[in-house]
Amino acid sequence: MSKSTIAVSAWEALFRAQVSVMRYLQSDFPTGELSLNEYDVLFNLSRQPHRQLRLKDLNEHLLITQPSVSRLVDRLASRGYVTKLHDPDDARGIVVRLSDEGFTLFRSVARSHIESIAERVGGSLSDEELTTLAALCDKLRLAGT
C-alpha cells in the first residue's frame, strides 16, 4: 500500500471515530441549561487567564463559524454566564469574560461530561493507548502550525 493510501485510510478512521464519539457525547450531554457548543465556549474561557478572551481569539478555539460564535456569546451573555466588554487595547474589539455564575454552571456540567468522556473513550482504550492517542493527535495538530 502507498503512503497516501495509508494516510487516507488513517484519516477516514480518525474522522469516523471522532464523529462516533461526538454523537455519543452529544446524546449523553447533560442537557437543560447548556448545549454542547455553549459548554465549549465556557470550557475555553475557563482555561484562560482571568477567564477571558477576545472574541476574535475565542473563535480560533472553537469549531463553529464566527457568526455562530457571536450569537452563542450573545445568548450566554443574556443568561448572565458571560459578559462582553470593550477591549481596552482595541476600540473595535470585544472581550468575553466568564462570569462567576457561568463558571459555577460550567463546573457542574463538566463533572457529568467528564464521566461520559471517560466511559466512551477511556472505556474503549487502555491507559497506554490513551497516552499514545493523545500524543499522536497532538503531533497531527501541531504539524500544521
What strand order describes the sheet that includes 82-87? 52-54, 90-98, 82-87
For residue 20, what pLDDT band results from cuts at 50, 70 and 90?
very high
Q: Identify the residue with better confidence: 92 or 136.
A: 136
pLDDT of residue 145 exceeding 80: no
For residue 107, what pLDDT band results from cuts at 50, 70 and 90?
very high
pLDDT of residue 144 exceeding 80: no
Q: What is the predicted pLDDT for the residue at 49?
A: 93
pTM higher than 0.85 for the full model? no
User: Which residues fall within 8 angstroms of residue 86, CB to CB, at 6 or more apart?
Assistant: 93, 94, 95
